[in-house]
Structure 1
């Protein structure tokens, strides 16, 4: 049978005889260390922390109160239980010791039975506190890990749902990934501006980034004959195509109603799906919203979506160069796009180009 490890107790007293008394009482049950001054005690503790400290008050150079105060003011020693063991018997002395953070105050002459019981009880209390602390740390680690796993599952689900819509258009390829990163890059650039720094917090930007893949989820409701038509749509066909914004919003709303709480990313997902085809001058669809009536998330997606459509090959057009796409976005300042957003876009066009190259379509 393996013997349990003995707890270590540091006895601090400037009188060697008092140290010997403590050893005589406790050495059968504990490992006893000794220090004949406060300064020596602190040196010992800095190398190896004891499980409990028995501390005399009246010592030269550095008294017990000073030693206790030093221990309780440092993060790595503040949790070591300190019991004052002293001849000072006045109530104010005991009050001062406890106020400094000591767990107990025993007066001399020492009662061996009382000393044994109080040391045992305080070591048990410390062991219990340590156990609770460790369990809390383990629980916190598990919560963090589970939260991370749920976030990853959420991200995969959003991309998968977006890909479901995009899979019906074989030429879009990595469109989802690119637009998702464009939105984040543009939002971060806008967050540096005074008008948006309080709105576009890191948490909000992350939620918009997660919701971006659902911007065209409503395309699943558009007939192939219209969605995949190689030429220009008729007016009637275009009216049907425009309904993908409403289909997308309604699909996300239906999913949201199955949840007990409203999550930011679903709120932004609805805004983006429904309003990313709106234009700053009010000439877009589905509602003809204008200016800041268009949700910020949808205005971000409008720039991202149009830029990516311009640089991508379609059945009805070749891929434009990055420079040409930037020029078209710039020309749309104040008409198609939020003017401040276009200004921010112009500051980070190279970042858009880098994202496009990183998630380049194959073939």
Structure 2
């Protein structure tokens, strides 16, 4: 199409006089005109100039109009160009051949010049409308593909957020999703520092690492600081945007000078946790409304996930304190200063983590199992609350009768926790693990333990882990009837009991990480005045 916008016409005819007359009338009507004298020239000119309409004579030397029309329609580069065919032949079969070749119109010579101008305008208008519709369809298809892609990215993001267990995972997911959803090449995630007065850059793409470490923005400073303070989203189209009433600002600082930019707050339950900056789109255009909403959704979902993670952390800490407090009831009558429960919980977690890392008990141990065993381990001796004081705190060795009574603490603990599980309808995995540990942590791998004489895999895995953790702590702690053994002595005793008292796979994990056990023992040692109850 020419600059005036009316259109470009290619006239193909070997009659110079007719060609001259047609050119004159079409140019007078405002069209830009090219000419060719035969079909071969027409094909070459059409490919090069891409006219809006071809007016083609049928009878020409070198290549006739029917052949040229077929060639034009077979070529993807010219198939879209409409053809008006001119001929002196007026038989029906001639008309059919022209239409079958691909012509849109068929005019018989001689023709009226006003008629051919009207036909050219009509064909050109229809072709233009068709191209506009095709272009609109292409844009719509492109938009649908882009929106579908963003929705898929958001769906995958939401699923990943639900599975994320650490703050680092969530921060990584936020930045990655913003990149994948918008195609932006520069993204930064700035989170509030401990004071809540400044933002520090914790994740970034497209920014030099040396710059990332220096990025710190005060509340109310720059775009990020204003968004952090207000909780609103800011969109900047150019570096000189300063229309504050519309919520669009420039974003300039020592480390940033790029637009278009979207800065969204990470807010949950009225608290702004940070801001997400997205800029430098791969495509040279501003962010669409759908992209802006997508970025807001990414920020909102990330904030909710971070908030839930923090709430779970606090709840877990509360549950851990509560379980340790309940577990300590069995020791309360003896001495409140013992860190036995804390140590056993840490030993059990360490063992479970090493087993997971080693690929042992695949399908049984995962991150959730590790979290639960740390919470459940302190409940291993909860049943001792039902043992009489004169047996529990006896300074010397127990008689056979007293020892049999002491052993009932496993069954007492099981009954107490079973009643608790009944109150939940049996759908409490943590309580189930507590019950398994309390009931079976004195079973032996060789089947010579109590209370049920279980062996090997008959013993719940959590109980087998806690059995070793509890034994190590008992060996290395002061008891009323003995001094504490050294770490090395404990390691040797556990090594000798592999396959007898303890699961060999768990012993192997212990031996591989025994130095970490020693570190926990030293870091969480009892005060010297501590006198443990008799451990059985």
Shift, 1:195, TM fit: 3.9
Q: Which residue number corresponds to residue 264 of structure 1?
A: 429
173, 182, 185: which is aligned to 2:338? 173
Deviation digits for residues 8-36 of structure 1 (CA, Å, limit 9, x no counterpart): xxxxxxx9xxxxxxxxxxxxxxxxxxxxx
- Please tell me whether the aligned partners of residues 171 and 313 of structure 1 are also in contact (alpha carbons under 8 angstroms): no
One of 206, 228, 234 as aligned partner of 2:371: 206
1:278: how far off? 0.5
Are the structure 2 counterparts of residues 204 and 234 from structure 1 closer, same or farther at C-alpha, using a change threshold of 3 Å? same
Match of 1:151 in 2: 316
SS of the equivalent of 1:333 reads coil
Shift in CA distance, 351/97, structure 1 to aligned 2, threshold 3 Å: same
Match of 2:141 in 1: 99
Structure 1 residues 172 and 330: CA distance shift in structure 2, 3 A: farther
Any stretches of 5+ residues in structure 1 without a counterpart? 1-14, 16-85, 104-122
Aligned position for 1:356 = 521
Alpha-carbon displacement from aligned partner over 1:53-100 (angstroms, at most 9, x marks no partner) = xxxxxxxxxxxxxxxxxxxxxxxxxxxxxxxxx998532211110111
Matched, 1:245 2:287: no
The structural deviation recorded for 1:178 is 0.8
Q: Secondary structure at the match of 2:143?
A: coil
Question: Of 224, 230, 238, which residue of structure 1 is paired with 2:389?
Answer: 224
Q: CA offset at residue 350 of structure 1?
A: 0.8
Aligned-residue offset at 1:137: 5.2
Partner residue of 1:234?
Answer: 399
The two structures have a TM-score, normalised by structure 1, of 0.65
1:188 to 350, 353, 376: 353
Relative to 1, partners in 2 of residues 1:349 and 1:133: Cα closer, same or farther, differing over 3 Å? closer
Give the one of 291, 296, 299 matched to 2:464.
299
Which one has the bigger helix percentage?
1
Residues of 1 paired with 2:426 and 2:433: CA distance? 14
Alpha-carbon spacing, 1:261–1:129, altered in 2? closer, same or farther (3 Å): farther
In structure 2, which of residues 117, 120, 132 is the aligned counterpart of residue 90 of structure 1? Answer: 132
Instruction: Tell me the TM-score normalised to structure 2 length.
Output: 0.45
Mapping for residues 1-363 of structure 1, pairs under 5 Å: 90-101=132-143, 136=301, 139-170=304-335, 173-259=338-424, 262-363=427-528
User: Residues 335 and 124 from structure 1, CA distance in 2 versus in 1: closer, same or farther, beyond 3 angstroms?
Assistant: closer
How big is each residue's C-alpha offset from its partner over 1:167-195, in whole Å with a ceiling of 9 and x where there is no partner? Answer: 23328711111111111111222223344
Aligned-partner Cα distance in 1 for 2:314–2:129: 59
**Alignment check: 8 A CA contact 2:337 2:527 kept:** no
Q: Which of the two has higher C-alpha Rg?
A: 2
**Shift in Å at residue 248 of structure 1?**
0.9
Shift of 1:249: 1.3
**CA distance, structure 2, for counterparts of residue 93 and residue 257 of structure 1:** 66
> Which residue in 2 is equivalent to 1:7?
none
Residue 258 of structure 1: CA displacement? 2.4
The CA deviation at 1:354 is 0.6
Unaligned segments of structure 2, at least 5 residues? 4-127, 147-287, 529-536
| Cα distance in 2 for residues equivalent to 1:187 and 1:132 | 37
Report which stretch shifted further, 317-326 or 159-168. Answer: 159-168
Q: Distance in 1 between matches of 2:356 and 2:289?
A: 53
Q: After the TM superposition, which segments of 4 or more aligned residues of structure 1 sit over 3 Å from their partners?
A: 86-89, 123-145, 192-195
Task: Show CA shifts across 1:327-352 (max 9, x none).
Answer: 11111111111122212211111111
CA shift for structure 1 position 135: 5.6
Q: Whose RCO is larger (CA < 8 A, sep 6+)?
A: 1
CA RMSD of aligned residues (A): 2.9
For 1:133 and 1:171, locate their aligned partners in 2 and report how far apart those are by CA, in whole Å.
Answer: 48
Tell me, in whole angstroms, the C-alpha distance in 1 between the residues paired with 2:292 and 2:464: 57
Distance 1:233 1:141, change over 3 A: same
